[in-house]
């Protein structure tokens, strides 16, 4: 495959954000007490395919919008046909669903719900404001799915943590609506960006105050670094959104830092974060 063609596919799949799918799955898995790493591998493979498929469908649905405001995207730039993007998206989504079958009936059921949420978001998000909640719902459902794969049933800890992550993603989505223009995003979504702190502290065991404070400071510093470019004289909203998306890995670590006090897991989440930052230098985050 030519390098230019491969790069087009990587851009369509927003692969720079793929490590955050891994960090979501790992956080929910640890919170639910998962131990079977073969099942985790299947979960991660399924979630990865579903994410990529959703991103392809997103570009196919947004083709007309992109022709007006984002002409650098692959379809309006005529790097690939819209029909081809539809086909690629369908293949990824079907593959992700098939990978969930060996995980059992319950995980498959939640996978189908996640696929429906992905499709609904892609179709409606440019038409209806309420659809922004669907992208947050997708990350929440990924947490629920990972918890079900790990525990065999819905995990309360994964449910609570997934709620915080969902609100964080909703805050990013509300700010990202201003990415294509010159206007500054509103400041009130910053409250939503703080929700992972609330859910992490809510579930923190007694005697873990130092760990929770340290992980909270790390998360808060990165969020501050991420949002700063959005309110400069010449707003760089796209840069800020990319940094916030990378911060999902830190938000995930915040959920488990006090519960899974392991250096190897800390290194895993640090790797997810670092790889996301590196990939964003090659492939646009949005």
Residues 6 or more apart whose CB falls under 8 angstroms from that of 47 comprise: 21, 22, 24, 25, 96, 142, 145, 146
Verdict on whether the full-model pTM lies above 0.85 = yes
Rounded-to-integer distance, Cα 8 and Cα 66, Å: 15
pLDDT tens-digit readout, 145-190: 999 999 999 999 999 999 999 999 999 999 888 766 566 788 899 9
Mean pLDDT in residue range 250-279 = 92
CA distance 80 to 263: 43
Which residues does 263 contact at the CB level (< 8 Å), separation at least 6?
A: none
Q: How far is CA 115 from CA 141, 250, 275, in A?
A: 10, 25, 26
Domain ranges of the chain: 3-280
| pLDDT at position 129 | 76
Tell me the pLDDT of the chain averaged across its residues: 91
CA distance 179 to 199: 28
Do residues 260 and 232 make contact, with C-beta atoms less than 8 angstroms apart? no
Q: How confident is the model at residue 52 (pLDDT cuts 50, 70, 90)?
A: very high
CATH of 3-280, picked from 1.10.12.10, 3.40.50.11610, 2.130.10.30, 1.10.357.140, is 1.10.357.140
Q: Check pLDDT > 60 for residue 1.
A: no
pLDDT at 234: 79
């Amino acid at each position: 495959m030519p390098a230019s063609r491969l790069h087009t596919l990587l851009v369509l799949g927003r692969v720079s954000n793929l490590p955050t799918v891994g960090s979501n799955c790992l956080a929910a898995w640890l919170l639910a007490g998962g131990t079977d790493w073969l099942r985790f591998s299947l979960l991660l493979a399924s979630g990865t395919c579903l994410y990529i498929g959703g991103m392809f469908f997103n570009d196919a649905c947004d083709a007309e919008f992109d022709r007006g405001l984002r002409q650098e995207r692959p379809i309006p730039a005529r790097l690939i046909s819209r029909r081809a993007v539809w086909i690629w998206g369908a293949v990824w989504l079907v593959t992700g669903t098939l990978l969930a079958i060996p995980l059992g009936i319950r995980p498959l059921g939640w996978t189908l719900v996640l696929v429906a949420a992905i499709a609904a978001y892609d179709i409606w998000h440019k038409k209806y404001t309420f659809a922004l909640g669907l992208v947050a719902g997708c990350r929440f459902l990924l947490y629920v799915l990972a918890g079900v794969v790990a525990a065999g049933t819905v995990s309360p800890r994964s449910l609570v943590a997934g709620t915080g992550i969902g609100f964080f993603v909703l805050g990013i989505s509300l700010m990202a609506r201003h990415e294509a223009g010159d206007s500054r995003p509103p400041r009130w979504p910053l409250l939503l960006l703080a929700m992972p702190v609330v859910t992490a502290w809510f579930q923190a065991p007694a005697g873990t105050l130092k760990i929770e404070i340290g992980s909270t400071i790390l998360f808060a510093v990165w969020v501050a670094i991420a949002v700063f470019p959005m309110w400069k004289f010449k707003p760089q909203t796209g840069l800020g959104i990319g940094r916030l998306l990378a911060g999902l890995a830190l938000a995930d670590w915040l959920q488990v830092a006090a519960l899974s006090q392991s250096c190897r897991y800390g290194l895993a989440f640090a790797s997810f974060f670092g790889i996301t930052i590196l990939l964003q230098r090659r492939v646009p985050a949005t």
